[in-house]
Homo-oligomer: A and B are copies of this chain.
Amino acid sequence: MLVSFADLKKEFKRVLLNLSFAEEKAELCAAIFAGNSRDGVYSHGLNRFSAFIDAVKDKEVDVDAEPGFIESHGLIEIWDGHSGAGMYNATKAMDRAIELAKSNGIGCLAMRNTNHWMRGGTYGWQAADAGCIGICFTNTMANMPPWGGKEPRLGNNPLIIAVPNSDGHLVLDMAMTQYSYGKLQQSRMNNEEMEVYAGYDGEGNLTHNPSAIIKSRRALPIGYWKGSGLAFILDVLLTAVTGGKSTAAINSTVKESGVSQFFLCLYKSDYNQILIDEIIRYTKSSAAVEAGGPVRYPGENTLLTRQFNEQHGIPVDEVKWEELVKM
């Protein structure tokens, strides 16, 4: 079934207000959850909302917490998320990085002790909407083996890079596993194989089969040793700067909470739009693998989905929607 952005957001907000979130916080978190579904990232919109509510009820997420400044190292600001709502904390952090960048050309904020920010791309779009180049990343619980190992020891640590663009921002939002566990579970439910190798089975062979990977817990890093190295170094950087929890420390507790995040903005008044247009044109000039199949840039599908869903309504799982309405 289809639901409007306004209705989806209204229901989220009602539930959040009932859980004692303050007006501003409920408004912001509801808009982010609704925006994630609207942009086609259903796994981090409606489909994730009840898990967030559980985390609030379990006191992993502190309804009243405000993120705040702890210390600075030159222009690097270190904040503590005080276990608050991850989406709210990340928005405030990116707001501050934007503000710093507009004053200094560059803004850098690292936050410890925050919570899952849902879709990282949200904060890339936020930076680009404010006219900034935005880079952000987070660590997570261990969900990927390091290269050479069989047991999960690295997070999939999503990395987001966004550049403002007049025809729709250019926003890369990628985790370091080839597929998320959410995607593997969905494909298993639909009895589908993954398009490319997604991990290893119990015998240590590469496989497209989601069930085998969910069982072996050996999701594949993008580019094998390369994605493993990138996930590792982002976690190290976060920990070195924030002094907060690494993936190792997150995994020493039962729940994924108290993660560390990094927000960097660059600001110029002019991003050489003509040259960016040339890159897009050149990239799209490649002969397509499938006749008529388009070469797309990062962020292009997001905007197309957003526009389509805004016009036609947001597709929602009927069971999840009913659950929400009754919450």
A interface residues with partner B (beta carbon < 8 Å): 72-76, 101, 103-106, 108, 133, 145-154, 159, 161, 163-164, 170, 172, 174, 178, 196-197, 204, 221-224, 226-227, 229-230, 232-237, 239-241, 243, 246-249, 251, 266-269, 271-272, 275-276, 278-279, 281-290, 293-298
| Cβ-defined contact, B233 with A278, below 8 A | no
**Smallest beta-carbon distance A262→chain B, Å:** 10
| Cβ-defined contact, A298 with B233, below 8 A | yes
| Cβ-defined contact, B229 with A298, below 8 A | yes
**Smallest beta-carbon distance A291→chain B, Å:** 11
Closest 4 pairs (CB-CB, A-B) = A74-B105, A222-B223, A149-B286, A248-B282
| Cβ-defined contact, A178 with B76, below 8 A | no
| Cβ-defined contact, B148 with A289, below 8 A | yes
- In the assembled complex, the Cα of A197 lies from the Cα of B178 at a distance in Å of 14
Given contacts A146-B295, A249-B278, contact A266 B76 (CB under 8 A): yes
- In the assembled complex, the Cα of A226 lies from the Cα of B284 at a distance in Å of 16
| Cβ-defined contact, A161 with B278, below 8 A | no
10 A-B pairs with CB atoms under 8 Å apart are: A148-B290, A148-B294, A172-B229, A196-B224, A204-B289, A222-B222, A232-B279, A240-B268, A246-B279, A247-B279
| Contact residues in B for A293 (Cβ distance below 8 Å) | 148
| Contact residues in B for A235 (Cβ distance below 8 Å) | 279
| Contact residues in B for A282 (Cβ distance below 8 Å) | 153, 246-248, 251
Q: Which of B159, B163, B174, B248 contacts A279 (CB 8 A)?
A: B248
- In the assembled complex, the Cα of A149 lies from the Cα of B289 at a distance in Å of 5
Q: Which of B76, B174, B248, B295 contacts A149 (CB 8 A)?
A: B295
This chain: how many copies in the complex?
2
Chain B residue nearest to A278 in the complex (CB): B248
- In the assembled complex, the Cα of A286 lies from the Cα of B150 at a distance in Å of 6
| Cβ-defined contact, B106 with A76, below 8 A | yes
| Cβ-defined contact, A106 with B74, below 8 A | yes
Chain B residue nearest to A234 in the complex (CB): B161
- In the assembled complex, the Cα of A229 lies from the Cα of B295 at a distance in Å of 11
**Smallest beta-carbon distance A195→chain B, Å:** 8
Given contacts A104-B75, A275-B243, contact A222 B227 (CB under 8 A): yes
**Smallest beta-carbon distance A54→chain B, Å:** 27
Q: Which of A105, A164, A279, A289 is most buried by chain B, counting CB atoms within 10 A of its CB?
A: A279
| Cβ-defined contact, B295 with A148, below 8 A | yes
Q: Which of B147, B240, B268 contacts A163 (CB 8 A)?
A: B240
| Contact residues in B for A103 (Cβ distance below 8 Å) | 74
| Cβ-defined contact, A150 with B283, below 8 A | no
Given contacts A74-B104, A283-B154, A286-B151, contact A170 B295 (CB under 8 A): no
Q: Which of A133, A153, A234 is most buried by chain B, counting CB atoms within 10 A of its CB?
A: A153
| Contact residues in B for A222 (Cβ distance below 8 Å) | 222-224, 226-227
| Cβ-defined contact, A266 with B223, below 8 A | no
| Cβ-defined contact, A279 with B239, below 8 A | yes
| Cβ-defined contact, B170 with A236, below 8 A | yes
